Structure 1
Amino acid sequence: MKKPAQSFFKLSETIPCSVCKQNIVLYDSAKSEYIACPSCYSYLHIVNQVECRLNKKLNQPEKVVVLKLGSTANIHGTDFQVIAYLEKKESNTIYAWREYILNSLEKGYVTLSEFNGHWNFIAGKEFLTDYKQPTNCGQNVNYKDIEYKLFNKYSPIVTAMLGEVDWDVVNERVKATEYIAPPFMIVKEVMNKPKHYTDYYIGEYLSSDEIATAFNLDKSSLPEQIGIGANQPSQAYYRWISSLKATCIATIVVLLLHVLFSVVKPEKELINDNFLITYDAKAGADAFKPFITPSFVMEDESSNIEFDIASGVDNNWLETTIVLVNEANNQTWEVSKGIEYYHGIEDGESWQEGSTEESILLSDIPKGKYHLNVYPSSGYTYRNNLFIRATANVSMLRNTLITIMILCLFPAICWYLMRNYEKRRWDNSDFSPFVKAD
């Protein structure tokens, strides 16, 4: 049976505050060098196990300490104990956040930061497997072949503290840079005094549910989330990726079905002829004598028929009514279509409109023997030809393309929501890529 995390840590000790004489609890007396008094908020340097000296006075913490000093948790398989609480602010700004210093007996310190209810587990290379030094990539950095984008630069200042640490956390002056690739973050810290060095830390976003579970707390006791965290995972992004994959699969299926139908029911030419037409003076203006085409057979139980008509109209028009007749039962389908083509020169510019050919489609035509009754008319009485091509089982590429376009609507909406989410995230950064893009 696994022991509770608390049992892995040493019993606490105490040391008197050199200012107010109140006892201060130490959870890691062997390592701790600096401590803050919870009674008078003095920042003290520990000289030995019974004596400490005043370094400076700090402010009283402004926020509620939700992760109590001495409390324990297991995060990513490692047991931790909370040994310090820090309130920090960004130099020359109003931005403030909180950090909890967690201690592992085997690996040392990690930081659990909280800003506007968003939590980050920030650890050094001791806690990372296959650690590699991040490399510069323009203003961004690359870590394990993933590009982390520059999000923030700042100089942190400690305004309040409780607990203990093994370094002078209050007086150190570092320049921090954050790079994000949600749900991860790289924190680069550069210190110039007492000596120059650069450290990198890897941060991972943790949800309030994960924090509450790890520390056995009621989620309602944690700070309320405000806005979007710098490296908060985007559910909108995952929805977009999922919709993109689903749409790609659906598109492939639609295209395969289109090909399958084309193979199972190949196109069949029924009529392909240029018919002579004759003006009928007795029938009135623009009227031509109707004619009947040769018979043809529809062999499939249900088919579509596409009629392509054409005529050499020039600055004129031709219109025809086509009646499809089932010779077995005289059932009819009637369609009409006009052709017109005009062109000329106006103000030295040539123009044209219309076409000399058009198409008409009939669907769900049953099996049987058919012919066409054709009733042409034209604005040019000397028109003498009308080309007709009838094709059964025409490939409905247009419908296929329309289906694919409809399928693409959902990922397009998901992309818009994802992009809007990212814009809101980057509103908190001075390095937003959306400023230039928009």
Structure 2
Amino acid sequence: MEHERFALNSGRKRPAYTPKNIRCPHCGAGLTIKDEQSELVVCEYCGSHLNVSRDEMEVLGKGASRKWEFPLKIGDSFRYNNARYEIIARMVFIEDGDETEASRQYLLYNPYHGTLWLDDYQGQYSLSMDTHVMPVEDPFSKRRGDLLKTHDDQAWVMEGAGTYELVYVDGALPWIAQIGDQAEYAEFLNKSNPKLQYEAQRIAGEIEYGKGESLSLAQVRQALGKPDFLKTEGTGKAAQRAVSVDNVVSARRGFTFAFVVITIALIVNGFAYMVASSQGRRVLEQNFTAQELTAETISEPFIVRKDNDILKITANANLDNAWMALDIGVVRQDDDPIRNEDMLLHVDDADMSYYHGTEGGESWSEGSRSSSSYIQIPQKGTYKLMVHAVSNSGETETATQAEHSATIRVYSGALVPYYSMLMAIVSAIMLVGTFAMYHKWKHGDEDDDDDDD
């Protein structure tokens, strides 16, 4: 008997509804309606869609010409929370006309507890039910990775959104469904427990909400009472179906962690660069006129107080739409007054150019009036600079003398900031790359739609 098949041992009385037997007006086959809410019944013999919501049945037409395969049959049992449910309807939805992206849905019925939905998407199973818990915001305005709050103080992460099209249905449904019906969906995973799910569906302007949870294949087998479910397929060869869920919660956490780590690295290296650039004690500051730069001039002496000290040499020129080619040599002064043989240790190029103007009503500038270089001095002692430069204005590419003056400063005990600068640049590139990956991941569904168009 029907009530024995659905016995719950809960002491509750079964609602006053007796399964209704009908005959298909098209082929005359006997059918049984088990859910009093059913409005559509698909004849399992001829495939006719029957409207049973009225006193007089109406044949709506034939179903889809293609017969889809299902791993579960109408009438199969499914146990949930110690209650036995029965599959009373099966549906297939596809997205963007791609049959490889088919989602199979099963309507589960229990006379005491109503209905549940079992969803099978490429071997990934979930169980859901209708809910009256409303979202705080419009769920269809979200994109993958966005957060959605519901009025039960839960936070959900957008997993995906799109539009499903119904391509197959059989069994009995509590509404009139037709092949080709479309439904917008927005799916979310719980931020704290990604196994929990929240979904919004918009059909013909009406929005329905559901809550559910993902199920492992082991849980599905246990609920079906079929320990060998999906262990063999087709020809009978062992082919355990892998379940690989794109966990947007974990992905979002991963991107957030990457953003935090890379941003911290960028800040630390940027700060280290600024600290290194500001280190050093000034031991020389001297202005050289254009005539002195043309004639190759020796600077005032300065003292390096320790071996292997690092000098930072900066040059600033009063350039205005002009360029300067500046050579700076470091000369070790011979402290022996008799020998008096100074030694040239290092020569460095400090080329500078600075141009500016207005174009299209907007100001522009390029180049710099300053330059800096770092030199390691192997021995402490007294040193001088030997400077020589040529410069010119405008677009002239050659010069025989300097037309501009320059100020040169020397700092002792400097730190070379190149490593920090390099790491800051690498961190910035990684941050941009991570953001690009996040944008591609977040808008992946939209990009796919654009490609299809």
Which category describes the TM-score, using the shorter chain as reference length? 0.5 to 0.7
> What's the counterpart of residue 338 of structure 2?
none
TM-score using structure 1 length: 0.60
**Alignment coverage as a number of residue pairs:** 384
Deviation at 1:66, TM superposition (A): 1.8
> What's the counterpart of residue 170 of structure 2?
161
Deviation at 1:288, TM superposition (A): 2.6
Deviation at 1:390, TM superposition (A): 0.7
> What's the counterpart of residue 71 of structure 2?
66
Deviation at 1:211, TM superposition (A): 4.6
Amino acid at match of 2:134: K
> What's the counterpart of residue 268 of structure 1?
281
Deviation at 1:179, TM superposition (A): 3.6
> What's the counterpart of residue 3 of structure 1?
none
Deviation at 1:83, TM superposition (A): 1.5
CA distance change for structure 1 residues 319 and 29 in 2, over 3 Å: closer, same or farther? closer
Q: What SS does structure 2 have at the residue aligned with 1:250?
A: helix
Contact 2:297 2:387 in 1 (8 A): yes
Instruction: Please tell me whether residue 361 in structure 1 is matched to residue 373 in structure 2.
Output: yes
CA distance change for structure 1 residues 417 and 107 in 2, over 3 Å: closer, same or farther? farther
Contact 2:64 2:179 in 1 (8 A): no
Amino acid at match of 2:217: A
Contact 1:205 1:232 in 2 (8 A): no
Segment drifting more, 287-296 vs 304-313: 304-313
> What's the counterpart of residue 201 of structure 1?
209
> What's the counterpart of residue 129 of structure 2?
123
Deviation string 1:186-218 (CA, Å, 9 cap, x unpaired) is 113458xxxxxx552236685xxx452331344
Amino acid at match of 1:410: M
Distance (Å, rounded) in 2 between the aligned partners of 1:34 and 1:312: 85
Amino acid at match of 1:212: L
Q: What SS does structure 1 have at the residue aligned with 2:295?
A: coil
CA distance change for structure 1 residues 362 and 317 in 2, over 3 Å: closer, same or farther? closer
1:417 to 437, 443, 448: 437
2:257 to 201, 217, 242: 242
Deviation at 1:29, TM superposition (A): 7.3
Distance (Å, rounded) in 2 between the aligned partners of 1:173 and 1:63: 15
Deviation at 1:23, TM superposition (A): 8.7
RMSD: 6.0
Q: What SS does structure 2 have at the residue aligned with 1:335?
A: strand
Distance (Å, rounded) in 2 between the aligned partners of 1:30 and 1:299: 96
Contact 1:15 1:23 in 2 (8 A): no
CA distance change for structure 1 residues 160 and 415 in 2, over 3 Å: closer, same or farther? same
CA distance change for structure 1 residues 125 and 199 in 2, over 3 Å: closer, same or farther? same
TM-score using structure 2 length: 0.59
Deviation at 1:407, TM superposition (A): 1.0
Contact 1:187 1:203 in 2 (8 A): no
Amino acid at match of 2:169: A
Distance (Å, rounded) in 1 between the aligned partners of 2:323 and 2:430: 46
Distance (Å, rounded) in 1 between the aligned partners of 2:136 and 2:325: 73
Contact 1:9 1:105 in 2 (8 A): no
Deviation at 1:100, TM superposition (A): 0.8
Q: What SS does structure 1 have at the residue aligned with 2:388?
A: strand
1:185 to 178, 187, 199: 199
Distance (Å, rounded) in 2 between the aligned partners of 1:315 and 1:427: 48
Distance (Å, rounded) in 2 between the aligned partners of 1:353 and 1:152: 48
CA distance change for structure 1 residues 307 and 35 in 2, over 3 Å: closer, same or farther? closer
Distance (Å, rounded) in 2 between the aligned partners of 1:88 and 1:366: 79
Deviation string 1:307-334 (CA, Å, 9 cap, x unpaired) is 3254789978564341243869968233
CA distance change for structure 1 residues 383 and 59 in 2, over 3 Å: closer, same or farther? closer
Q: Tell me, which stretches of 5 or more residues in structure 1 are unaligned?
A: 1-5, 48-52, 192-197, 280-285, 345-350
Distance (Å, rounded) in 1 between the aligned partners of 2:112 and 2:249: 34
Deviation at 1:224, TM superposition (A): 8.8
Contact 2:333 2:343 in 1 (8 A): yes
Deviation string 1:33-77 (CA, Å, 9 cap, x unpaired) is 876564555667999xxxxx8967656872221234434366xx8
Deviation at 1:363, TM superposition (A): 4.2
Identity score, percent: 13
Within 5 A, what are the aligned runs for 1:100-139? 100-103=106-109, 107-114=113-120, 121-125=127-131, 131-132=133-134
Distance (Å, rounded) in 1 between the aligned partners of 2:64 and 2:318: 92
Contact 1:84 1:100 in 2 (8 A): yes
Distance (Å, rounded) in 2 between the aligned partners of 1:104 and 1:373: 94
Distance (Å, rounded) in 1 between the aligned partners of 2:286 and 2:104: 84
> What's the counterpart of residue 85 of structure 1?
89
Deviation at 1:289, TM superposition (A): 5.3
Contact 2:139 2:186 in 1 (8 A): no
Distance (Å, rounded) in 2 between the aligned partners of 1:121 and 1:376: 81
Distance (Å, rounded) in 1 between the aligned partners of 2:405 and 2:186: 73
Deviation at 1:247, TM superposition (A): 0.7
Amino acid at match of 1:376: H
CA distance change for structure 1 residues 98 and 173 in 2, over 3 Å: closer, same or farther? same
Instruction: Please tell me whether residue 334 in structure 1 is matched to residue 347 in structure 2.
Output: yes
Instruction: Please tell me whether residue 303 in structure 1 is matched to residue 310 in structure 2.
Output: yes
Contact 1:301 1:367 in 2 (8 A): yes
Contact 1:78 1:104 in 2 (8 A): no
CA distance change for structure 1 residues 242 and 158 in 2, over 3 Å: closer, same or farther? same
Amino acid at match of 2:295: F
> What's the counterpart of residue 283 of structure 1?
none
